[in-house]
């Protein structure tokens, strides 16, 4: 035992004094001094420290951190000699789990305890278990953006930081569900709120905020994000993360395995949020048409989550659904070839009759809208010169099945038009119907929409369709009415649809709100029937269908080339992109890859593909470790199999993504 | 007592929507003319929109009149108690069938508890031509006919009628036809040629009548029963009401219960004695017409109303399943006519054609739609509903459907690298592309089609666009995205933000353009065309695009298909592969199938059972078999990778040459196809052993569709307890019919069928004759239909309320 003394107090063994600071790394940390020898085991040292501190406390999470070597002394059976610790070592006796503030994909802040001693890969896995996100291998942590202090001190509204630091997870077991959420969330109202934050989509952001947030303006900007990824083979402590620091939690690898709305409410929601912010902040480009679909889905998702309809659509009796389906079925069948006069008596199909103004756009026509007597029955629209002539032959008869219905509405201008593009063997005929008021418009519009899908107004969805249209109109009055080109504050978005919160700033600039609203609503009618999770999935699918989806950009310089180029890494390929033009120069697929090597000294990655194609490049925008980890990570992800479930081959991952020792 | 069974058959050609609408008021002559005119449509599509035939029993003998009141009630009861006895008499020589296992429906069980399928004259021994006879010879005594299984009866009769129609249209005036009835007043019920009289009677009706019927239909059940009983003592008018009321209780099988009631009432009204059982229709074919008897006003009303009710029900039923006869052109310039109903997908039709043509069933076979007028063509995707597409054709169209091989159809799955990895035409990539190995292809496909979202091939390049309505072609830079085709506007870059949408795929189909160079002065002949499926004539809404070469054209067309159909395309491909694999197994099967007798339950029921024209379920059941095979095949594959070569359903197998290992020749069970006509298809499908597991006895492949009219399981088959199947009748195991060999045996009769107008499939007489229970399992369909109706009614009521 270290510290044997003679009677005079001289030490007779080879023991020496070791100073250990207690607590986290602070300059003025209290310290204890121990008498140790080189043969002392770490475990013994820990025991002595605790004895010396002489405080009743749970020390189980505490371990020794060796500052100079940036190393945790976690092997309790190792001796000090084995670690090479001498008297001058600065050791800190502190907790391995420390609070950090995580910035989630939905941009909310969450304080929780993360492991500072395990490799990041494991630490993230633990965090994800806490947040009940499956497949943690797809996520990782980034450092925050350095705050530019020079900016004028804007009063940032004090934002709510959710706190999960008190929550302790029973290790190993998958958390059981309790009251619809993992049991550890159901402890208090606070944690419950936190779970809702995690599992429910957030309302659309304030458009002003959107405009203020940094957006990449070029490919070069897009590479910046990726320089901030933390190293997954090292622990947080080693990467100079301090307790209380803010980190971003993001899906790093765009390969989402086994996404299951039932099992993954949090994962799905966070993924959706990340995709949404990607789009809103123009991290990924899309076309106007695509943006409208995204906006409509966001609108729909927001509406559902606000109304509390989480999960599947509110418990309609499946039996009723069946019945409806059967009815729809029958009705659809009936209307096709049914003789009207016979069947009407059996299943009366409601019809609309009214005086509407009709306009048929033609080349070289001077005629405007003209009043007609219009009868809308089943899926057929007939119009007559006047009501008196109705029994006779109509001026025109249009079967709306398969037609395009486009609203042309301006509530403030009291303009309620329905543009119909009706297909016929000869082509499409365009007809505009102009209604007098909202009520009339809603009825006719709903009828037209159903008819275009081949259903009649007898369809059970007719009434709800009418209601939905009326709701839209009121939204439009509230939202897009007189707003002009100025984005509105958050208060406006509270009550209605503020389209600016749903589209990226580029489109905010391009369109006026009142132009945007109808387009979003038009796109919305195609998704209005989706449940929350379906809509989220649809959003993700549309996101994944974008050509630029899932590409992480790095500035690299290829061997033998003098200029910087962009390397895009996607889940299945590497893409060489011309920096100036943005064109794809060359694509290499991982499936053709033989091996890759990293030269850590000259920061160069060399990759060999089939048929002796060799590529080498050095990374300019980020450490080559990040590039290496990306490639290895994607290859690791491609080895996942459904059969293995969620268990992770961490060794393989670290081998594929690890540092020097990997190859 | 003289009673007659009137078979009303009511046909109109496909384009006769108008006919139906106007038909009620139009003259009978019109009706007939329309039917005939359909023959002249170059593409023989006949919409047999209504094929209703219902035995109706009417009294014609004046002698019946006096006894209206007294014997009515007891007789009625008697009729109800032994429906099949009555029916037996009416049917002349049929053996009664044991009661079906299906539980009686509440509310009508008393009347129709024994669901007897013989209500319709289907199972007669008469050959098709003779089958018309009863309708032409009104005075056939038939006391009461229960319409227990009206649905399948209708279907059967439908096919009979198709056969008859065939003969009739072919050979009017052949001696099988009785001379036209000389008695004008009776013409209304005497359908010597079939179609006219119904119309007349309909004309006599007023609209309110049907409204009244409607009200009655929704009347309350107990009341209905009460009133039924009362009604039998009252005037025929009231009886009609009660009949219709009662009918509302006879959900399902009893949809034609009305007819039954009519039978009952008329019997008791006019019949003095029980009529003797009718002689075999064959024998007494030249029956003398009944004595002329002007019908009373009341009677006429009743009859007219009856007709109208029936017609309404017919229409409902007809509206439910639309059928077309489609003439498919073969690549050898021959044609085949197929009965296609609206539920059938292109895949089902291909399967039918495979059976008919003995082709190799490979995945390249497709239905090909050609528009000569627009000079465009495309293949049907396997999941497309054929009737829906054909409905868009105009009446006088020259469009046709061809059955041919197109390797473009699934080229993307055979060589995905040509579409996904093509580096915009660079030479080097082309060279390497050829060599992609199966494993890489597989992973590429998996990556592209099996993820959360499918990947649309990245396609971009300059194409020529024919400007709307103009003759000029303009070069533009187009890009394909999942959301549509975009182009780069002048002076803009091709970044996403600048793109302008050219077209989205929701409402358009993609076609190949042919000879555009000649017709539209296109820069090349490699054109593709996007148009709304309903557009049939030249129009500015049709978009013409022109590529530089065939390769680009195929890439674009395929890319657009992937963007439009998504994963469905891949599913189609896998089904096609499964089908092709099955077919290759079949060829082996064909030789060695004499051995092991199989339990009858393993076979899918085949055409022997019913020829009722309901193809779709049959086809579906095939697909379920395929799916089943797929699934079952998948499972062993996981455990026994070695077997995967045989596995048509797994991706790996798809890339392997089918012939690499001959599939184990499954032993055909001799009785498979022929012996279990009453077997529910579901049970059959479920009982199909896994196809590829060696440890199991070699699987019997699903029996071939020897006939298009493979009997359908009822739509709501699930409701039927699986064990309700009556034991297979002893006769059918092959005594009269040898078990059909795998390739369709029924081809011969079809081939001889000349008239395209009508379904080619007259039921094979011997089969039917032997089969007392042809309709087994079919009742569910009717039930389904009626419950649909009831639901609709209830809903209507709810709405009104």
Complex ipTM, two decimals? Answer: 0.82
Task: Indicate the range of A317-321, A433-437, A576-580, B344-348 predicted with least confidence.
Answer: A317-321
Question: What's the pLDDT at B512?
Answer: 93
Query: Which residues in B lie closer than 8 A to residue A293 (C-beta atoms)?
Result: 483
Across residues B403-417, what is the average pLDDT?
A: 88
Taking only the tens place, the pLDDT of each residue in A390-444 is 777 888 888 888 888 888 877 777 888 888 888 887 778 888 888 888 888 888 8
User: Is residue A121 predicted with pLDDT exceeding 80?
Assistant: yes
Q: Which residue of A has its CA nearest to B449?
A: A545
* A347 reaches B (C-beta below 8 A): yes
The reported pLDDT for the residue numbered A252 is: 92
Position of tokens 């060359």?
A586
User: Is B209's pLDDT higher than 50?
Assistant: no
User: Residue A632: which H helix or E strand, with range?
Assistant: helix A624-638
Mean pLDDT throughout B627-631? Answer: 45
A343 contact residues in B (CB cutoff 8 A)? 312, 315-316, 319
Query: At B93, is the secondary structure helix, strand, or coil?
Result: coil
Is the pLDDT score of B50 beyond 50?
no
Residue of A nearest to B323 (CA): A337
> What mean pLDDT do residues A19-26 have?
79
DSSP B660: G
Which residue would you say has higher pLDDT here, A199 or B221?
A: A199
pLDDT tens digits, A189-234? 888 888 888 888 888 888 888 888 888 888 888 888 888 999 888 8
Structure-token pair, residue B205: 């009706």
What average pLDDT does this structure show over B8-24?
A: 36
pLDDT at A347: 52
Q: Which pLDDT tens digit goes with each residue over A461-505?
A: 788 788 878 877 776 666 544 444 344 433 333 345 678 888 888
pLDDT on residue A171: 55
Per-residue pLDDT at B794: 66
Is-contact B702 B604, C-beta < 8 A?
yes
Looking at the predicted structure, is the pLDDT value of residue B767 above 90?
no
* This prediction's pTM: 0.64
- Rounded Cα gap, residues A531 and A513, in angstroms: 26
The more confident residue out of B67 and B436 is: B436
User: Are B405 and B364 in contact, with CB atoms under 8 Å apart?
Assistant: yes
Residues of B in contact with A538 (CB under 8 A): none
Interchain pair A339, B536: CB under 8 A: no
| Residue A363 exposed, middle or buried by CB count within 10 Å (0-12, 13-18, 19+) | exposed
Provide the percentage of residues in chain B whose pLDDT is more than 90: 7
The more confidently predicted of residues A575 and A158 is: A575
- A-chain CB neighbours of B542 within 8 Å are 427
Q: In the structure, what pLDDT confidence band is assigned to residue A157 with cuts at 50, 70 and 90?
A: low
User: Looking at residue A249, what is its pLDDT?
Assistant: 93
CA distance B449 to B455: 6
Model confidence at B674, pLDDT cuts 50, 70, 90, reads very low
Residue A65: both structure tokens together: 């951190």
Q: Identify the pLDDT of residue B109.
A: 32
Residue B761 CA to residue B338 CA, distance in Å, equals: 9
The whole-angstrom distance between residue A52's C-alpha and the CA centroid of its chain comes to: 49
Query: Which of B391, B451, B497 is closest, CB to CB, to A506?
Result: B497
As a whole number, the mean pLDDT across chain B is 57
- Compute the average pLDDT of residues B662-676: 41
Q: What is the DSSP letter of B26?
A: S
Please check the confidence at residue A641 and state whether its pLDDT lies above 70: yes
Beginning with the edge strand found earlier in the chain, give each strand of the sheet holding A71-73 in spatial order.
A31-36, A16-22, A91-95, A62-66, A71-73
> Which chain B residues are Cβ-neighbours of A582 within 8 angstroms?
493, 495
Contact B539 A323 (CB under 8 A): no
Highest mean pLDDT among A475-479, A539-543, B615-619, B686-690: A539-543
Highest mean pLDDT among A243-252, A320-329, B277-286: A243-252
For the segment A597-624, what is each residue's pLDDT rounded down to a tens digit?
A: 888 888 888 999 888 888 999 988 888 8
- Residues comprising chain B, all counted: 801
Catalogue the long-range contacts made by A325-331 (C-beta closer than 8 Å, 24 or more residues apart).
Answer: A326/B787, A326/B788, A326/B791, A327/A460, A327/B788, A327/B791, A327/B792, A327/B795, A328/A455, A328/A459, A328/A460, A329/B788, A330/B320, A330/B788, A330/B789, A330/B791, A330/B792, A331/A455, A331/A456, A331/A458, A331/A459, A331/B792
A217 and chain B: CB distance < 8 Å anywhere? no
For residue A36, pLDDT over 60 is answered with: yes
Which of A156-170, A453-467, B525-539, B729-743 shows the lowest per-residue confidence on average (mean pLDDT)?
B729-743
Does the distance separating the beta carbons of A334 and B507 come in below 8 Å?
no
Question: A545 at the B interface (CB within 8 A)?
Answer: yes
Which helix (H) or strand (E) segment holds residue A408: the answer is strand A404-410
Strands B376-379 and B365-371: antiparallel
B798 confidence band (pLDDT: 50, 70, 90): low
Q: Is the separation of the CB atoms in A567 and A579 below 8 Å?
A: no
Alpha helices in A479-611 (DSSP H): 490-495, 505-510, 513-524, 532-545
Highest mean pLDDT among A602-611, B170-179, B251-260, B720-729: A602-611
Query: Are B779 and B724 a contacting pair, CB within 8 Å?
Result: no
pLDDT tens digits, B257-303: 333 333 333 333 333 444 444 444 444 444 444 444 555 677 777 77
* List of residues 6+ apart from B798 with CB closer than 8 A: none
Please tell me the predicted confidence (pLDDT) of residue B302: 77
Burial class (CB in 10 A: 0-12, 13-18, 19+), A57: exposed
Q: Which chain A residues are within 8 Å of B486, Cβ to Cβ?
A: 287
**Nearest-by-Cβ selection for B539 from A288, A427, A460:** A427
Quick one: closest CA in A to B391, which residue? A336
Question: What is the pLDDT, as a whole number, of residue B714?
Answer: 43
Can you give the pLDDT at residue B697?
42
Report the range of poorest mean pLDDT among A137-141, A562-566, B426-430: B426-430
- Residue B535 phi/psi, 5-degree rounding, is -75, 125
| pLDDT at residue B157 in the model | 54
Query: How confident is the model over A652-663, as a mean pLDDT?
Result: 66
Question: Band of the pLDDT at A185, cuts 50, 70, 90?
Answer: confident
Provide the 3-class DSSP secondary structure of residue B413.
helix
Rounded CA-CA distance B787/B116 in Å is: 19
Quick one: tokens of B694?
Answer: 């060696």
The predicted model gives A551-559 an average pLDDT of: 91
- Write the burial class of residue A272 (CB in 10 Å: 0-12 exposed, 13-18 middle, 19+ buried): buried
- Picking from A333, A523, A540 by the largest number of B CB atoms within 10 A of its own CB, the best residue to mutate is A333
pLDDT at B270: 39
Average pLDDT over residues B380-386: 89
CB contact under 8 A, A547 and B497: no
More confident site: B292 or A11:
A11
Percent of chain B's residues with pLDDT above 70:
33
What is the band of B686 on the pLDDT scale with cuts at 50, 70, 90?
very low
Q: For the residues A574-587, what does the mean pLDDT come to?
A: 87
Asked whether the predicted pLDDT for residue A141 surpasses 50, the reply is yes
């Amino acid at each position: 035992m270290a510290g044997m003394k003679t009677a005079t107090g001289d030490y007779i063994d080879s023991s020496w004094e070791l100073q250990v600071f207690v607590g986290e790394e602070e300059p003025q940390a209290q310290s204890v001094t121990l008498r140790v020898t080189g043969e002392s085991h770490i475990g013994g040292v820990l025991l002595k420290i605790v004895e010396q501190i002489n405080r009743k406390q749970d020390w189980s999470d505490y371990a020794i951190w060796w500052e100079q070597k940036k190393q945790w002394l976690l092997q309790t059976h190792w001796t000090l000699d084995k670690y090479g610790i001498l008297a001058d070592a600065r050791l800190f006796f502190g907790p391995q789990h420390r609070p950090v503030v995580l910035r989630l994909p939905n941009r909310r802040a969450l304080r929780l305890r993360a492991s500072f001693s395990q490799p990041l890969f494991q630490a993230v896995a633990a965090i994800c278990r806490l947040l009940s996100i499956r497949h943690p291998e797809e996520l990782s942590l980034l450092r925050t953006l350095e705050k530019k202090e020079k900016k004028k001190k804007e009063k940032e509204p004090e934002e709510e930081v959710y706190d999960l630091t008190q929550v302790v997870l029973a290790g190993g077991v998958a958390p059981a569900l309790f009251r619809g959420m993992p049991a550890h969330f159901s402890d208090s109202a606070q944690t419950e709120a936190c779970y809702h934050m995690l599992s429910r989509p957030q309302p659309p952001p304030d458009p002003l905020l959107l405009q203020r947030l940094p957006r990449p303006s070029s490919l070069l900007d897009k590479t910046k994000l990726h320089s901030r990824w933390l190293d997954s083979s090292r622990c947080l402590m080693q990467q100079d993360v301090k307790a209380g620091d803010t980190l971003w939690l993001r899906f790093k690898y765009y390969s989402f395995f086994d996404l299951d709305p039932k099992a993954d409410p949090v994962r799905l929601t966070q993924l959706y949020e990340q995709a949404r912010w990607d789009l809103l902040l123009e991290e990924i480009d899309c076309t106007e048409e695509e943006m409208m679909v995204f906006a409509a889905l966001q609108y729909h998702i927001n509406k559902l989550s606000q109304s509390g309809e989480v999960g599947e659509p509110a418990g309609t009796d499946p039996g009723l659904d069946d019945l409806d389906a059967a009815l729809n079925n029958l009705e659809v069948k009936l209307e096709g070839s049914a003789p009207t006069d016979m069947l009407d008596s059996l299943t009366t199909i409601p019809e609309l009759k009214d005086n509407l103004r009709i306009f048929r756009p033609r080349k070289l026509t001077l005629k405007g809208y003209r009043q007609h007597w219009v009868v809308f029955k089943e899926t057929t629209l007939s119009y007559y010169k006047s009501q008196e002539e109705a029994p006779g032959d109509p001026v025109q008869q249009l079967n709306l099945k398969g037609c395009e219905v486009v609203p042309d509405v301006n509530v403030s201008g009291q303009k309620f038009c329905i543009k119909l593009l009706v297909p016929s063997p000869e082509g499409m005929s365009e007809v505009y119907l102009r209604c007098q008021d909202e009520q009339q418009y809603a009825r006719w519009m709903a009828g037209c929409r159903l008819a275009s899908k081949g259903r009649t107004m007898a369809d059970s969805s007719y009434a709800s369709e009418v209601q939905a249209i009326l709701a839209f109109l009121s939204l439009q009055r509230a939202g897009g009415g007189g707003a002009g080109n100025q984005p509105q504050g958050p208060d406006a978005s509270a009550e209605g649809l503020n389209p600016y919160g749903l589209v990226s700033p580029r489109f905010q600039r391009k369109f006026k709100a009142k132009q945007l609203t109808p387009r979003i609503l038009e796109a919305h009618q195609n998704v209005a029937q989706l449940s929350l999770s379906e809509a989220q999935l649809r959003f993700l699918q549309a996101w994944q269908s974008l050509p630029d989806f899932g590409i992480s950009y790095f500035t690299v310089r290829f061997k033998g080339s003098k200029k910087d180029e962009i390397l895009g890494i996607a889940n299945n390929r590497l893409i060489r992109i011309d920096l100036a033009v943005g064109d794809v120069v060359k694509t290499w697929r991982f499936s053709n890859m033989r091996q890759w090597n990293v030269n850590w000294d000259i920061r160069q990655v060399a990759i060999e593909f089939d048929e002796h194609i060799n590529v080498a490049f050095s990374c300019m925008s980020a450490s080559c470790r990040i590039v290496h980890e990306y490639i290895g990570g994607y290859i690791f992800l491609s080895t996942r199999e459904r059969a293995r479930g969620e268990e992770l081959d961490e060794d393989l991952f670290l081998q594929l993504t690890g540092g020097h020792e990997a190859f | 007592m003289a009673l007659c069974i009137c078979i009303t058959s009511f046909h109109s050609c496909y384009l006769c929507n108008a006919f139906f609408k106007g038909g009620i008021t139009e003259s009978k002559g019109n009706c007939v003319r329309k039917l005939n005119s359909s023959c002249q449509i170059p593409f023989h599509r006949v919409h047999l929109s209504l094929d209703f035939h219902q035995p109706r029993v009417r009294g014609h003998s004046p002698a019946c009149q006096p006894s209206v009141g007294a014997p009515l009630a007891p007789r009625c009861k008697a009729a109800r108690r032994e429906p099949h006895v009555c029916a037996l008499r009416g049917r002349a020589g049929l053996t009664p069938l044991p009661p079906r296992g299906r539980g009686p429906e509440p509310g009508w069980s008393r009347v129709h508890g024994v669901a007897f399928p013989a209500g319709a004259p289907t199972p007669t021994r008469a050959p098709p031509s003779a089958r018309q006879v009863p309708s032409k010879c009104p005075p056939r005594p038939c006391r009461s006919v229960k319409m227990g299984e009206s649905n399948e009866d209708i279907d059967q009769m439908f096919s009979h009628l198709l056969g008859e129609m065939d003969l009739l249209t072919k050979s009017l005036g052949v001696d099988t036809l009785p001379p036209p009835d000389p008695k004008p007043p009776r013409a209304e019920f005497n359908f010597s040629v079939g179609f006219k009289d119904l119309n007349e009677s309909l004309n006599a009706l007023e609209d309110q009548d049907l409204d009244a019927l409607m009200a009655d239909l929704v009347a309350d059940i107990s009341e209905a029963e009460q009133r039924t009983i009362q009604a039998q003592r009252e005037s025929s008018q009231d009886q009609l009401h009660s009949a219709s009321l009662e009918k509302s209780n006879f959900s399902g099988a009893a949809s034609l219960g009305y007819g039954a009631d009519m039978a009952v009432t008329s019997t008791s009204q006019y019949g003095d004695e029980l009529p003797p059982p009718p002689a075999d229709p064959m024998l007494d074919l030249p029956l003398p017409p009944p004595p002329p008897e002007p019908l009373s006003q009341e009677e006429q009303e009743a009859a007219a109303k009856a007709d109208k009710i029936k017609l309404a029900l017919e229409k409902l039923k007809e509206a439910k399943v639309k059928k077309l006869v489609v003439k498919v052109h073969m690549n050898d310039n021959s044609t085949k006519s197929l009965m296609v109903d609206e539920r059938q997908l292109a895949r089902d039709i291909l399967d039918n054609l495979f059976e008919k043509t003995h082709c190799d069933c490979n995945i390249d076979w497709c239905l090909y739609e050609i528009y000569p007028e627009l000079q465009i063509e495309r293949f049907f995707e396997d999941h497309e509903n054929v009737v829906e597409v054909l409905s868009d054709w105009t009446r006088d169209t020259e469009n046709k459907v061809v059955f041919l091989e197109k390797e473009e159809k699934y080229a993307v799955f055979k060589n995905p690298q040509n579409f996904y990895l093509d580096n915009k035409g660079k030479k080097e990539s082309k060279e390497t592309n050829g060599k992609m190995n199966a494993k890489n292809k597989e992973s590429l496909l998996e990556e592209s089609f099996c993820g959360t979202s499918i990947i649309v091939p990245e396609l971009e390049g300059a194409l020529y666009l024919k400007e709307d309505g103009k003759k000029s072609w303009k070069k533009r830079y187009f890009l394909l995205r999942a959301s549509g085709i975009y182009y780069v506007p002048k002076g803009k870059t091709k970044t996403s933000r600048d793109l302008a949408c050219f077209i989205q795929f929701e409402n358009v189909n993609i076609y190949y353009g042919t000879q555009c160079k000649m017709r539209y002065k296109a820069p090349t002949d490699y054109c593709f065309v996007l148009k709304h499926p309903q557009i049939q004539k030249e129009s500015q809404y049709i978009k013409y695009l022109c590529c530089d070469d065939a390769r680009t054209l195929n890439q674009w067309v395929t890319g657009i298909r992937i963007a439009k159909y998504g994963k469905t395309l891949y599913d189609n491909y896998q089904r096609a592969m499964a089908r092709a694999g099955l077919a290759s197994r079949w060829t082996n099967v064909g030789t060695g199938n004499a051995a092991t007798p199989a339990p009858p339950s393993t076979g899918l029921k085949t055409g022997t059972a019913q020829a009722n024209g309901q193809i779709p379920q049959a086809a579906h059941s095939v697909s379920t078999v395929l799916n089943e095979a797929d699934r079952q095949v998948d499972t062993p594959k996981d455990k026994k990778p070695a077997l995967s070569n045989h596995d048509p359903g797994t991706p790996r197998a798809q890339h392997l040459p089918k012939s690499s290992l001959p599939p184990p020749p499954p032993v055909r069970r001799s009785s498979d196809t022929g012996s279990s006509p009453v077997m529910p298809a579901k049970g059959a499908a479920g009982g199909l052993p896994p196809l590829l597991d060696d440890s199991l006895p070699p699987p019997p492949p699903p029996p071939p569709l020897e006939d298009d009219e493979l009997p359908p399981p009822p739509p709501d088959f699930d409701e039927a307890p699986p064990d309700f199947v009556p034991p297979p009748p002893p006769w059918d195991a092959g005594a009269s019919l040898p078990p059909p060999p795998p390739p369709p045996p029924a081809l011969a009769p079809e081939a001889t069928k000349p008239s395209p107008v009508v379904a080619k499939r007259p039921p094979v007489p011997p089969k039917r004759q032997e089969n007392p229970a042809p309709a087994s399992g079919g009742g569910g369909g009717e039930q389904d239909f009626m419950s649909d109706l009831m639901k609709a009614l209830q809903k209507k009521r709810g709405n009104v309320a």
